[in-house]
Chains A and B, each alone.
Chain A
Amino acid sequence: MVHKLTGALALGAALLLSTSAFAQDKRVVTWNADYDPIPLAAAEALIADFEAANPEIDVVLTNFDHEAYKNAIRNFLTADPPDLANWYAANRMRPFVEAGLFADISDVWANNGLMESLAASVPSSTIDGKQYAIPYTYYQWGIYYNRDAYKAAGVDVPGPEGVTWDQFLANCEKFKAAGIDCVTTGSSALWPVAGIFDYVSLRTNGYQFHSDLAAGKISWTSPEARAVFENLGKLQPYVTENHAAIDWQDAAALFVQGKAANYVMGNFAVGVFKEGGMTNDNLGFMVFPEITAGIARAEEAPTDTIHLTSGAKNPDDAKTFLAYMASAEAQSKWNAAVGQLPTNKNATVDAADPFLTAGFQALSTSTGGIAQFWDRDADAEYAKAGMEGFQRFLVQPEALEEILAQLEATRTRLFPQ
């Protein structure tokens, strides 16, 4: 049973629905989600399968508008908690875990062998040694490239193994001469620059550095952090000018039109590229090139999660449903419909989709670790300060010292030594 509602109406209506469902003599599990139409349809299909297998349980999904959900969750978790709620892994769930609003579901993990099957997502689902989330989907980040732009500039199209960092920068020089932006982005919403920064950071110093930097354990004026900015500085002249004033979708238009050759983005952008007229023939994907030789390759793959709330009225059946969402079968089905990657390593990926296949390959062979993304790995306020710094550096690289000093001041304030 699925009802699409938005905003304030949702809570009241959910109450009404649950009472009417009780009348049918089924045990109800309520689930608040923030799905767009395609994921919503996929979730409906999963619920139908689950209810067919468990006829005595009725899963009631209340769908919220994606943006409104970010505020709504703060209210409904205290005022009228559903049994299950969608959210994000790592630091994004920390405030709710610390306020005691998300429940510990370590038992679901232990009883279903999830430590094994969801191995890659254990760190991002764990706080203080306990699991608070069921990760059911993620998507890879990397470099999407326009083959037509490469041909127009007379640059060799990268092979499946990607290119080296020096080769990438040399290519950028050629693109610049041809009047094509080598790397494009649209950073008016800030987060796209974090993708570029994170990759340069992961490739310069590795996963542990990224993780420690996001946790505020590393000084911005340390030689390691400076090395990241030095490498970012090499890329800076080739990034689309005025990126600070455009959205990532505007930059996608430049990319589709061949005015830009490479785009550091998440796999969700493929849909936008294809709507713009690109096909599997001229759209390519490669992992971000290696910078420091010998560092274990880490990738970015933000994970979406479902949580059991502390105020759940029917935690037992909710846990049954969580176990189902963690299963290979459910994840294969949901992710195939949505075009993302399952977190369960036994799940299957649509072999006909070259980007999903490439992403699955990139993530399953990454030995360095899976980063969530700067704004999920770092504390919210720290994340924002960081992204403003990255954006400023890409606009005013000469202001590096000032940027580092400001970031360092923020760090010492938020994480007193």
Chain B
Amino acid sequence: MAEAATTAPRRWTQRTLAPWLFLAPGLIMFTIYVLWPIVESVTLSFYDWNGLYDRDGAFTGTFVGMGNYAELMGDPAFTTSLWNNLKWLVLYMLALPIGLFIAIFLNQTVTGIRLYKSLFFFPFVISQVVVGLIFAWFYAPNFGLLYLLTEAITGKGTAILADPDLVTYGIIAAGLWPQIAYVMILYLTGLNNVAPDQIEAARLDGAKGWRMLWYVVLPQLRPATFIAVIVTVIGALRSFDLVSIMTSGGPFGSSRVLSYYMYEMALGEFGFRMGYGAAIAVVLFAIMMIFISGFIWKMWRDEKER
């Protein structure tokens, strides 16, 4: 103890200690529930393990090095999942313009506008599971509304969830419903903060319509847009519940996304390949890191500019 005290580079005073004390609960939680699992997952991804310990409680996995990753490269199901994740990412971005449009549309003072706003926000309040079930019934063959509509128009019903080419788009549409509501509420609060004097000034200069939106309103909505992009990207990448509820990845795996494939491989009834599931998780983590580091970098830059 005495030795440690003499070699310590600096002294613990209240000023240096206090920030760490305040950070400690968060740091401990973050280490236990975020950092440690990441390390565990990456380690596990180098093993082939069926999730069982033997009678003496010893780990039964075998080290396979990069084997799981090599297998991923040639796995058609993994390719499908990756492509589907990309579709999710691109199409989920539709939530931004649509959400903005609805927000602008609702940003007016009419009797009962609060009721309309709540109704538009409603899909975000209900659980994703319920959203999934509602849309599954909407698409259901034989009795679903959409099926009956397409049957009435074209003479042959389209069962979206049974069609390998359409199924992912069907699920994304279901996911967009609450996501648009979420983006809308972000923009609605943003619109409240748009400076009325700038609008006034722009109007005096003769700006209106699209030009007003593009050059005056949107720049002031940048913070809202930033948050909306973040939640939409993350929402798209972690899409799991809707896939699980609506199709379980089917038909024959055409609607899998990485997170669902990971679940299937690691914890599904025919899975219990923990190492392989962990490898998928690591890939998903790497993809998310691209976006997350981008956001962190931008936030850090904004902080410094202040």
A residues with a Cβ closer than 8 A to B are: 70-71, 74, 77-78, 95-96, 99-101, 187-190, 241-246, 250, 254, 310-311, 375, 380-381, 383-384, 388-389, 391-392, 395-396, 406, 413
Could you tell me if B271 and A380 are in contact, using CB atoms closer than 8 angstroms? yes
Tell me, in angstroms, the Cα distance from A242 to B163 when the chains sit together.
Answer: 8
| CB pair B248 A395 closer than 8 Å | no
B85 to chain A, nearest CB (A): 19
Contact of A310 (CB < 8 Å), options: B55, B60, B76, B271: B55
| Interface residues in B177-223 (C-beta closer than 8 Å to A) | none
Rounded to whole angstroms, the CA-CA distance of A380 and B271 in the bound complex is: 7
Structural contact, B52 and A74, CB atoms closer than 8 A? yes
B252 touches A244 (CB 8 A): yes
- B272's nearest neighbour on chain A, judged by CB, is A380
Name which of B17-25, B114-122, B137-145 contacts chain A.
Answer: B137-145
Q: Are A95 and B50 in contact (CB under 8 A)?
A: yes
B252 touches A375 (CB 8 A): no
Q: With the chains together, A375 CA to B269 CA distance in Å?
A: 10
Residues of B within 8 A of A78 (CB): 52-55, 57
A190 touches B250 (CB 8 A): yes
Assess the B53–A381 pair: CB atoms within 8 A.
no
Binding site for A on B (CB under 8 A): 50-55, 57, 60, 71, 76, 139-142, 159-162, 164, 247-248, 250-253, 267-273
Structural contact, A389 and B140, CB atoms closer than 8 A: no
For the complex, give the distance between the alpha carbons of A77 and B164 in Å.
Answer: 39
- Give min CB distance, B264 to chain A, whole Å: 8
Q: CA–CA, A383 to B140, complex, Å?
A: 27
Q: How far is the CB of B262 from chain A (nearest CB, A)?
A: 15
Q: Which of B139, B252, B269, B273 contacts A70 (CB 8 A)?
A: B269
| Beta-carbon nearest neighbor of B76 in chain A | A406
CA distance A29 to B272 in the complex (A): 29
Taking a contact as CB atoms under 8 Å apart, the answer to whether B162 and A243 are in contact is yes
Q: State the CA gap A384–B269 with chains docked (Å).
A: 9
Contact of A391 with B55 at beta-carbon distance under 8 Å, contacts A242-B162, A380-B271 already known:
no
Q: Contacts A375-B270, A380-B272, A395-B252; is A245 near B141 (CB within 8 Å)?
A: yes
Contact B270 A244 (CB under 8 A): no
Contact B252 A392 (CB under 8 A): yes
Given A78-B57, A246-B141, 9 more pairs with CB closer than 8 A: A71-B267, A242-B141, A243-B162, A244-B161, A254-B142, A375-B270, A380-B272, A391-B250, A391-B251
Are B54 and A101 in contact, CB atoms less than 8 angstroms apart? yes
Cα-based distance from A71 to B271 in the complex (angstroms): 11
| Complex contacts, B140 vs chain A, CB 8 Å | 245-246, 250
B253 CB contact (under 8 Å) in A381, A388, A396: A388
Report the separation of the CA atoms of residues A71 and B269 in the bound assembly, to the nearest whole angstrom: 9
- Chain A residue numbers with a CB within 8 Å of B53 are 78, 99
- Residues from chain B with a CB closer than 8 A to the CB of A250 are 140
- CB pair A391–B51 under 8 Å, yes or no, is no
Contact present for B141 and A241 (CB under 8 Å): yes
Q: How far is the CA of A375 from the CA of B50 in the complex (A)?
A: 17
Q: Are A244 and B162 in contact (CB under 8 A)?
A: yes
- Residues in B with CB closer than 8 Å to A245 are 139-141, 159-162, 247, 251
CA–CA, A250 and B141, complex, Å:
10
Query: Do the beta carbons of A381 and B247 come within 8 Å of each other?
Result: no
Q: Which of A244, A254, A396 contacts B250 (CB 8 A)?
A: A244
Q: For B247, what are the chain A residues with a Cβ–Cβ distance below 8 Å?
A: 188, 245
Across the A-B interface, give the 8 residue pairs with the lowest CB-CB distance, nearest first: A244-B251, A245-B162, A384-B270, A242-B141, A242-B159, A242-B162, A245-B161, A392-B252
Which of B51, B54, B55, B76 has the most A CB atoms < 10 Å from its CB? B55
B160: which A residues are within 8 A, CB to CB? 245
Q: Which chain B residues border A243 with CB–CB below 8 Å? A: 162
Q: Which of B55, B267, B270 contacts A383 (CB 8 A)?
A: B270
**Option from B52, B141, B253 in Cβ contact (under 8 Å) with A101:** B52
Q: Is the CB of A99 within 8 A of B54?
A: yes
- The chain B residue with its CB closest to the CB of A70 is B269
Contact of B162 among A380, A381, A395 (CB under 8 A): A395
A-B contact pairs, 20 of them (CB 8 A): A70-B269, A74-B51, A78-B57, A99-B54, A99-B55, A99-B60, A101-B52, A187-B250, A241-B141, A242-B162, A244-B251, A245-B139, A245-B159, A246-B162, A250-B140, A380-B270, A381-B270, A384-B271, A392-B164, A413-B71
Q: How far is the CA of A383 from the CA of B76 in the complex (A)?
A: 17
Indicate if the CB atoms of A100 and B161 lie closer than 8 Å. Answer: no
Query: Which residues of chain B come closer than 8 Å to A383, judged between CB atoms?
Result: 270
Contacts of A246 in B (CB 8 A): 140-142, 162
| A100-B252 contact in complex given A245-B139, A246-B141, A380-B272, C-beta closer than 8 Å | no
Q: A101 contacts B250, CB within 8 Å?
A: no
- Kindly list chain B residues whose C-beta atoms are within 8 Å of the C-beta of A389: 252
Name the residue among B51, B140, B142 with the largest chain A CB count within 10 angstroms.
Answer: B142
Nearest-Cβ distance from residue A116 to partner chain B, whole angstroms? 32
Q: A395 to chain B: which residues have CB within 8 Å?
A: 162, 164, 251-252
Shortest Cβ distance from A414 into chain B, in angstroms? 11
Complex Cα distance A71/B266, Å? 11
Q: Closest approach, in angstroms, between the C-beta of A141 and any C-beta of chain B?
A: 19
User: With A and B bound together, what is the CA distance between A375 and B268 in angstroms?
Assistant: 13
**Which residues on the A side are within 8 Å of B161 (C-beta)?**
244-245
CA distance A349 to B269 in the complex (A): 32
